[in-house]
Amino acid sequence: MPIRWYLFAVANYIFLITYIFFFLGALRFTAEVLPADVSLGFFGLFIISLAITVFNSAFNLYVFHGYMPARILSRKMKTSYIVSTILFTASLIIVTISLLQAMSEAEAEFKDFLNWVIVLNTAIGTFILLHQFMVRKFLEKNYRH
């Protein structure tokens, strides 16, 4: 199996672990810092996006360990994978917008950190997304041979 698929797995492990911490931190912030009468609004959407990213990475790892390099996806799995890819795309956009918004409101010292988070999030997320589009084709190609 080409090394890029192992990098795909590593990128998903990075996102899984990182986004679990982000998700738990956001939940803790919601429970402990936000007043009870404040509407979650966009922050709630941000929390849902974090959860989608966690589930997407876990699903990618399930496919990686369970189906690669040469096991074909069932019709139900293909549909699930397409839905997961669409939701991940939306969540990646929402998280990036949220981080950009946080960066505009952050103090100078924190802006550098957020800038790196945005760059890494975008780079790793784009890598994962591009490879998600290629998984079905890769599995079908290897299954036929």
Q: What is the pLDDT of residues 20-63, one digit of tens each?
A: 998 998 888 777 776 666 667 777 888 899 999 999 999 999 98
pLDDT for the residue numbered 133 = 87
Higher model confidence: residue 29 or residue 12? 12
The number of distinct structural domains making up the chain is 1
Total Cβ atoms within 10 A of residue 110: 12
User: What residues contact 89, with CB distance under 8 A and at least 6 apart?
Assistant: 129
Domain boundaries, position 75: 3-144
User: What residues contact 23, with CB distance under 8 A and at least 6 apart?
Assistant: 47, 50, 51, 54
